[in-house]
Structure 1
Amino acid sequence: MSLLLAGAATSASAYADSKPPVETRQGGYVALGDSFASGVGAGASSGNCRRAANAYPALWAAAHHGEPFGFAACSGAKIHDVVTSQLSGLSPRTALVSLTVGGNDIGFADVMKTCVARGEKACLESVARADRTMDHALPSAYDGLLQRVTKAAPHARVIVLGYPHLYADRACAAGMVTRRSQSALNAAADHLDRVIAGRARAHKGAVFADVRPAFAGHGVCSADSWINPPSLLTADVSYHPTAQGQRRGYLPALGTATRS
């Protein structure tokens, strides 16, 4: 289980010294957020932030190649990190901002490690702690973030993308995580998305993009999973979207939200 611990620690610590590349700090589209936005688990990535060409922001930019693009999302980022280290790419010229963040603020990595390594009881307790954080600390932090984004990019459309269910709706019969824990993890994703969606709807100019419908039937243990399964050999990408998840789950959600 030490590989799980090491993988999570690497993602969290790598963020500290990261900055958006200088040449992309001013642009029409700026992508903010954590490892779900930087593309961890979706193929080859680069730098401390582990930004991947298969990440949904990079795919969007490739399809809209005439627009300047700032890829600031970074593996391990929390809301505070986005505020302090990712907003430099925003300006009054920015037209579109995408954002996926919040999982690390509720202890996503710790919850996953607990559910894989310590059994059902500890998993459910860990999920319950995350639920309390969602209700008490996350809303005000999200409000502050969205206010800062709007202040830095007053003319931008802000798309806040949520998180998918990790497991298929039909629970796995076997594996490192029990059926009850799988259900609890999916319920926690629903809770997190409700909180994030509520804050986005309360903020003028922001739109919530729900990725769960696209990922339905494509969680861990499905015949066509778009989520990397838990593994001791690839702990650093466990529970992150695959390239298919980015391309067929997150990217269409972003596109739909830009037209809403």
Structure 2
Amino acid sequence: MKRLFGGVVGSIVAAAAALAVAGPAHAAAGRYVALGDSMASGPLIPDITGNVGCGRSTRNYAHDLASAMGLNLADVTCSGASTKHMTQSQSTSVAGVDTGTVPPQFDALTADTSLVTLTIGGNDVGLVGVAQNCATLDPTATPCKGTYEAQVAQRTAEFEPKLSAVLDGIRQRSPNARIVVTGYGLYIKPNGCWPVQPVLPTDANFLQGAVNSMNAVIKRQAEAHGDTYIDLVTPSAGHDSCQSASQRWLEGYVPVHAAAPLHPNASGEAAYATVIRNTIDAS
């Protein structure tokens, strides 16, 4: 915007211009809507807020980010959510016990929303279930890669148009929002760490490779829609489930922190919030 000068009038206009340049993502007390699945909701990280079946933590990355940026948060992330739950209600449960139904996540989006974060795809592809089925304490077991590789590849391909539709839907409902789409982190290092995490080296590479393939879809669609993609694999290096308790951002099959298996812990969520904020501040 052209800067105007001229006494008091110039000062007022310059101040207004500065506020405009700051953009909606930086606006004080702007409305921030967090959408997504359990990677974003933070199940089993104290304290729980909202529907207990959603496993939504007050220490997930959305809450950390909102606090750091001074934003008014509407957190509708929910464990078990997939792309369809952006526009459809979701039934929730804990250990098979019904905990009610939550509205479509898109219901939280408004025309005045200034920032939206989205973490989705893991349940569309079914990666946690596959990872659970690949666990083995038998070093002579047949790797699970051959059983699941084609299925995961097909689900990943089917996920891409669904994600595209979700991003279109966000833009339609919140046309002025900064849309930030995260990938998923580094869950296990190359070749794994059997038996600390009970997956064979071949399967450790297959499982993280499946995460990376899903991330590639997320990045491609975010960029195609003019949105911001957040890479969480690179900053997660040295913080995967094979690392010591003090270094882990992501838990393994048996968590060492209060967090769900195969999900980020509080340190991971806080680190993700920092990565997201730094990306927003730098652009």
TM-score w.r.t. length of structure 2? 0.75
**1:237 partnered with 2:260:** yes
Partners in 1 of 2:114 and 2:223 — Cα distance?
19
> 2:119 is matched by which residue type in structure 1?
T
**1:99 partnered with 2:118:** yes
Q: Relative to structure 1, is the Cα distance of residues 83 and 40 closer, same or farther in structure 2, using a 3 angstrom cutoff? A: same
What is the aligned counterpart of 2:37 among 34, 38, 57? 34
Partners in 1 of 2:151 and 2:142 — Cα distance?
14
Partner of 1:73: 77
Partners in 1 of 2:171 and 2:77 — Cα distance?
17
- Structure 2 counterpart SS, 1:105: helix
- Structure 2 counterpart SS, 1:51: coil
Partners in 2 of 1:256 and 1:213 — Cα distance?
14
Based on CA coordinates, which of the two structures has the bigger radius of gyration?
2
**1:208 partnered with 2:229:** yes
> 1:179 is matched by which residue type in structure 2?
P
8 A contact 1:139–1:196 mirrored in 2 = yes
Partners in 2 of 1:148 and 1:214 — Cα distance?
29
Q: Give the deviation of 1:83 after TM superposition.
A: 2.6
**1:246 partnered with 2:269:** yes
RMSD, aligned α-carbons: 2.3
Partner of 1:52: 57
8 A contact 1:111–1:123 mirrored in 2 = no
- Structure 2 counterpart SS, 1:95: strand
Q: Give the deviation of 1:43 after TM superposition.
A: 3.5
Partners in 2 of 1:54 and 1:173 — Cα distance?
30
Higher relative contact order (CA 8 A, sep 6+): 1
Q: Give the deviation of 1:80 after TM superposition.
A: 0.4
Task: Provide structure 2 residue ranges, at least 5 long, that are not aligned to the other structure.
Answer: 1-29, 89-103
TM-score w.r.t. length of structure 1? 0.81
1:217-254 superposed Cα distances (whole Å, 9 cap, x missing partner): 111112322111103999x8111001111112x11221
What is the aligned counterpart of 2:240 among 204, 219, 222? 219
Q: Give the deviation of 1:117 after TM superposition.
A: 5.4
8 A contact 2:41–2:77 mirrored in 1 = yes
